[in-house]
Structure 1
Amino acid sequence: MLISDTIIIADVEIFMGSREVYCCKRLVTLTGLEFNLLWLLMSDFPQLVTRESIAEHIFKRSLADSNRSINMHISTIRKKLLVNTDKSRIKSFRGEGYVF
């Protein structure tokens, strides 16, 4: 559900205005880049966000230059969300992209 600058999907809430993320009503601390990446994934729910789109919109560079960075940041976001729940929120599609 998208309400202006707020996205709520299941037990994950993200607020653009305050740049806060909650999972199971607990604050999740993300870096600015991690926040932007999660916002992009949740904004396009349930659509696949391609690796190329992430590279362009989040890293402002080509996929070849940001390929490993994408993997690292997705992994970190997953770990931070898993602290509060046992459900993985971000699904990988090998070589294509990610879906929240």
Structure 2
Amino acid sequence: MSTGMGSSLNNSVLLVEDDPGIGRFVTRGLAAEGFSVQWLRGIGDVPRQLAGADYAVLILDLMLPDGDGCSLARYLRDAGQMIPILMLTARDSLDEKLDGFRNGADDYLSKPFAFDELLARVKVLARRGSAGPERSHRVVADLAIDVRAREVTCAGRVLSLTRREFELLLYLARHAGEVVSRERILYGAWGNNAELTTNTVDVYLGYLRRKLKAHGSETEIVTVRGQGCRIGLAPSSGQDHDAAPEA
């Protein structure tokens, strides 16, 4: 195995590619160069994977069975996700490349490609991403979220959460102070899961609110009528007139 990557450089790659041949080719090649690769066949679980782990690079196919890479890249950028994105596509027109860049791609590689070129581009993007802010910890109000350990503490005490509760809280924390719709929460926290609905969001928001209150947390999840909800520090007195109590 090559040791060409510096020990201080994040070597985790998220690959989204539905073609099994290309997926195996890229995964095995990058693994041989010291990268840790998580391979997904569709876009549905990408937001949840990115929220729950610290990846250096996202390698994203343009055309996927459950959506297109440009739309996902735009969604991630709109959501504040700044991971470097390398777009893969069988298309080679200038207009389509420009469309990829406009939607948030950092680099573009046309199929078929030589592995050495892919490797070089991934290494450049990984170095670029390593210069960005540390994203393994997040703080919102009086909560400290350790993304890698998947642990939340309040005033030094661990807040016991289920997997879905943690993913929901982490998504809200990434958008602290921002009003986010239930549809955005559903997709951003849990991916494209047909078993879950916006009603599921309401149920888990209720679970989170009760646990925060029982823990004595000053963090509040406020419902904003007709728009969604936001997380932040509870006001010292009174309540925002446009906000509704717990749904």
Q: TM-score range by the shorter chain?
A: 0.7 to 0.9
- Indicate which of 199, 203, 206 corresponds to 1:75: 206
Q: Quick one: distance in 2 between partners of 1:69 and 1:36?
A: 13
Q: Quick one: distance in 1 between partners of 2:217 and 2:149?
A: 26
Identity of aligned pairs, percent?
27
Q: Which residue of 1 aligns with 2:175?
A: 44
2:220 partner SS? coil
Q: Quick one: distance in 2 between partners of 1:81 and 1:71?
A: 15
CA deviation after TM superposition for structure 1 residue 73, in Å: 0.1
Q: Quick one: distance in 1 between partners of 2:155 and 2:220?
A: 12
CA deviation after TM superposition for structure 1 residue 27, in Å: 0.6
Unaligned runs of 5+ in 1: none
Unaligned runs of 5+ in 2: 1-132, 232-247
Q: With the length of structure 1 as denominator, give the TM-score of the two structures.
A: 0.83
Q: Quick one: distance in 1 between partners of 2:140 and 2:212?
A: 13
CA deviation after TM superposition for structure 1 residue 95, in Å: 3.2
Question: Whose Rg is larger?
Answer: 2
Q: Quick one: distance in 2 between partners of 1:35 and 1:55?
A: 13
Tell me: higher relative CO, structure 1 or 2? Use CA pairs within 8 A at least 6 residues apart: 1
Aligned residues: 97
2:222 is the alignment partner of 1:91: yes
Contact 2:142 2:218 in 1 (8 A): no
Q: Quick one: distance in 2 between partners of 1:59 and 1:20?
A: 17
2:178 partner SS? coil
Question: Which amino acid counterpart does residue 205 of structure 2 have in structure 1?
Answer: I
CA deviation after TM superposition for structure 1 residue 86, in Å: 5.8
Contact 2:142 2:217 in 1 (8 A): no
2:197 is the alignment partner of 1:66: yes
Q: State which drifts further: 78-87 or 67-76.
A: 78-87
Q: With the length of structure 2 as denominator, give the TM-score of the two structures.
A: 0.36
CA deviation after TM superposition for structure 1 residue 6, in Å: 0.8
